[in-house]
Amino acid sequence: MAVPPNTKPIPILNLPFIPLNYIIQHFYPLTVLDFSLLSKKCRHIIKSTNLVKYDMGLSFQPDQYLIRFQKKDTFLFYFSIDILSKRNKYLRRKRNRKMSPFSSNGNEVSIKFAKFWVNYVCDLFRTKISMLFLNLNASIEQMSAVAEWTKSLFSECWFCHVAGDDANSESITRFFKIANFPIRFLVFEHKHEYEIAPIDCGVLNAEEVLIYSKIPKYPVNWFTLEQIMRSNWTKLMFGACAFDASDLNQFIKGWLNGNNSKMEVFRAVVKPYIRDLVLDGIEYEERDITQERRPYNTSFFNNPFSAYFIGGYYIRRNDGTVASQDSS
């Protein structure tokens, strides 16, 4: 936008605190960052301002949105690697000005670079990182370094998203074995067209889990039934997966014997579904398909989730807990 020729700059630092605070509150986040880099005084002013509170995410995914600003699940804006690296020259310490944004191999984010800017931005906006976005393609060395850092960064991770077009199963395994912090919502999203070695994450410390492939033609085959049975998640939703009717039968029998004691919702897309194999050796009460639909209301990832059961079966555990299985 062209500036009128007779317009003079506003001496913003000479303003009283209340109007100055009001102006800064309406800064775009990148303007807040740039203003803070002008001087120690400017940074102190920013930290004294009642800024809008955001949910912060740390991303190592290929989009290179290193720091994401969100309102829970709504993406608002980001500070990319490129945006932050261009501002290295405004840092006061010479050693920080020379920070490389990438590791020595040139393909992965430098942990030193990420640590510095995460600490700086979180201090500036007076908030903490609550979300983590991991790259399935990352090397073992990168994942190990990220895990060592983030296990002290998070007391609890509100949302963790693991995605990529390729997968290094050993890297993901290494991450979750090192960084076993609690995760409220965990998503595994993968685009693959070939067999992948199982991701052995042990007993994941997560509450609600979504696992799916972005290509329905290739169902999820990188989580095993044994991993699922020894988990203690409250809600698990699979997209199309490689489990069969015998696997579901084994899962239900494990639940009857005390596995997955906290499980409230389990959903998996399995083909073919063979009822007699699923219920083989299991006592159940069949529901009349002509009876009124049975509503089920819950939430998944903080979003309302509703379903109706038509017919189906009741399966009762020894402690009196009843599971309702949909006939579809």
Tokens of 149: 């850092």
At 179-218, the pLDDT tens digits run 989 999 999 998 777 777 888 877 788 999 999 887 777 7
User: What element of type H or E holds 114?
Assistant: helix 111-125
The pLDDT of residue 284 is 87
The stretches in the chain having pLDDT less than 70 are: 1-7, 289-294, 296, 308-309, 326-328
Report the SS3 class of residue 314.
Answer: strand
CATH class of 52-283: alpha beta
The pLDDT of residue 199 is 83
The pLDDT of residue 1 is 47
Tokens of 216: 């329905």
> Within a 13 Å sphere around the CA of 93, how many CA atoms are in the beta-carbon half?
4
The pLDDT of residue 234 is 93
- Residue 76 dihedral angles phi and psi, to the nearest 5°: -110, -55
User: What element of type H or E holds 298?
Assistant: strand 294-300
Q: Rounded to two decimals, what is the model's pTM?
A: 0.88
Residues 6+ apart with CB under 8 A from 6: none
Nearest CA-CA partner of 135 in 113, 101, 167: 167
CB atoms within 10 A of CB 214: 13
Chain-centroid distance of CA 262 in Å reads: 21
Residues 6+ apart with CB under 8 A from 61: 133, 134, 135, 161, 163, 164
